Amino acid sequence: MSNQQKIYLLAFMSFLVGTSQYIIVGVLDQIATSLNISLSKAGQLVSVYALASAIGAPLIIMVTARMSQKAQLILSLIIFIIGIFAMLLFQSYLLIVISRMIIGAGAGVFIVIAYGISAQLAEKGKQGVAMANIAMGFSLALVLGIPLGRMITAVANWQTIFWMIGILSLLCLVVVHKSIPKTLSQTPIALRVQLAYLKQPKILSALGVTFLFFISYAVINTYIMPLLFSIRTISEHEISTILLALGITSFIGTKLAGFLADHVGIAPTLIGSMLLSCVMLVLLLLVSHSLILTSLLLLIWISAAWTFGPAQSIHLAFIAPETSGILLSLNISFVQFGFATGAALGGISIAHLPIHSLYGIAIFFCVNGTLSVTLFAKMALKILYTYERVIIFSQGVFDGHIPSTLQRRTHSNYFGKMC
């Protein structure tokens, strides 16, 4: 097996891992019915998965830091597979919650290690492409995994899709054991070192924006099926079509993020995507009685949301390029914390309030996130402007004269270039 084929294998496993996370959203109503629990309780399966991924994965990686990356990858798959089959064998809600936590921890470790191994397997200069393939597999879980899962469960039950994920993961585990070379892990970064970065205001504020935005996203995304079913009775064909369309637009959003960041600037991309999300959420609250309008607005909203994610990653990479790996790792944890909090808040809301109150909660956190990133952008503009004036002044002194005037660039110029 060539190295490129090994990278594709990791990408396929990333698709399985991503499907295990996102499919819950597509079959939330079926899980609630089969376990005889409320939609609120079923939604907490998203929360515990995200928490386990955010907290458990970094701890497991640190504990196993002296192992080879191949051993770590195999361990992550074993944990993931145990969680999958435990979820299928247990009928108790509490035990299924524990199973989801096991799945989340294993999945979180897998994604991190898969990125590292794919970079090592890639040819020199193509590491970014290799890592993008891993991300692509995870994204395809949204485009194909959720709608395909819904179609399968329409003719069988929700457990069927997890049986398929478990069996395919077992086969992949065997192939990984035989084909992936034994590579050494990188020097582990202590947790206290990573947490030290949170003391820096610019980093903490950026991660805070991530947290707020993904709370808003998870509140709606987790309960998107109940929201649609609250409008009118929807056929399985209609549901599968809507889920497929949402997956495709989310994929478009991720591609749009890179294009916009390169051509109009990172700050406008971040603020624009968040503002668009806020506007769509307000409109969704107003047209919640119409399936067609709701579906169209959801397509725009999810595209904007998935534009924000990659743009924020680029933003963090430019805040401190020398520590971009740590910042991106922290950002993933904050994304998962946002997912967990949003799913939990959404569950509490629909247990005590009308389901359309979810839009109000999402608007609140999205607006706060947008205000935060706007204030951060303005602060960065002032810093950039001051920095340029100091440089011009210094150059003038060095050349033997002080400029009589310091030409000031417009905010829009900085705004387009700001990282």
Q: Quick: pLDDT tens for 187-198.
A: 555 556 666 766
The residues, any chain, with a CB within 8 Å of residue 145's CB and separated by 6 or more, are 15, 18, 19, 22, 23, 247
Which two tokens mark 411?
A: 């905010």
Check residue 137 and give its pLDDT.
Answer: 81
Q: What is the pLDDT of residue 405?
A: 43
Q: Are residues 49 and 180 in the same domain?
A: yes
Q: What is the CA radius of gyration of the chain?
A: 23
User: Residues of the chain whose pLDDT is less than 70?
Assistant: 127-128, 183-195, 197-198, 320-326, 373-419
Tell me the per-residue pLDDT of 154-189, one tens digit each, with 9 for 90 and over.
788 888 999 999 999 999 999 998 888 876 455 555
Contact 327, 320 (CB under 8 A): yes
Whether 322 and 418 share a structural domain: yes
How far apart (Å, rounded) are the C-alpha atoms in residues 368 and 373?
A: 9
Do 204 and 334 sit in the same domain of this protein?
A: yes
Range of the domain at 148: 1-188
Q: Look up residue 138 and give its two tokens.
A: 């995870």
Q: Is 204 found in the same domain as 167?
A: no
In a shared domain, residues 182 and 307: no
Task: Please tell me the predicted confidence (pLDDT) of residue 193.
Answer: 64
Same domain, 297 and 318: yes
Do residues 191 and 355 touch, judged by C-beta distance below 8 A? no
Q: Give yes or no: residues 301 and 331 share one domain.
A: yes
Gap between the Cα atoms of 251 and 245, Å rounded:
10
Give the separation between CA 146 and CA 153, rounded to whole angstroms: 10
Q: Are 94 and 206 in contact (CB under 8 A)?
A: no
Same domain, 362 and 319: yes
φ/ψ of 283, rounded to 5, equals: -65, -35
Q: Are 183 and 196 within one domain? A: no
The per-residue pLDDT for 289 is: 87
Q: How many domains does the chain have?
A: 2
Which residues touch 256 (CB under 8 Å, ≥6 apart)?
A: 303, 307
pLDDT at 418: 46
275 and 216 belong to one structural domain: yes
- CB 57, CB 108: distance < 8 Å: yes
CA-CA distance, 83 to 41, in Å (whole number)? Answer: 19
Helices in 122-181 by DSSP H: which ranges? 127-140, 146-155, 158-179
Extract long-range pairs of 119-123: CB within 8 Å, 24+ residues apart: 120/69, 120/183, 121/3, 121/4, 121/6, 121/7, 122/3, 122/7, 123/3
Show which of 140, 157, 188 is a domain's final residue.
Answer: 188
CATH number of the domain to which 271 belongs: 1.20.1250.20
- In a shared domain, residues 246 and 162: no
In tens, the pLDDT along 223-269 reads 988 899 888 888 888 888 888 898 888 888 877 887 887 788 888 88
Please give the share of the chain, as a percent, with pLDDT higher than 90: 25
The answer to whether residues 152 and 200 belong to one domain is no
- Of 188, 205, 238, which residue is a domain's last? 188
Q: Which amino acid, 125?
A: G
The answer to whether the CB of 319 falls within 8 A of the CB of 419 is: yes
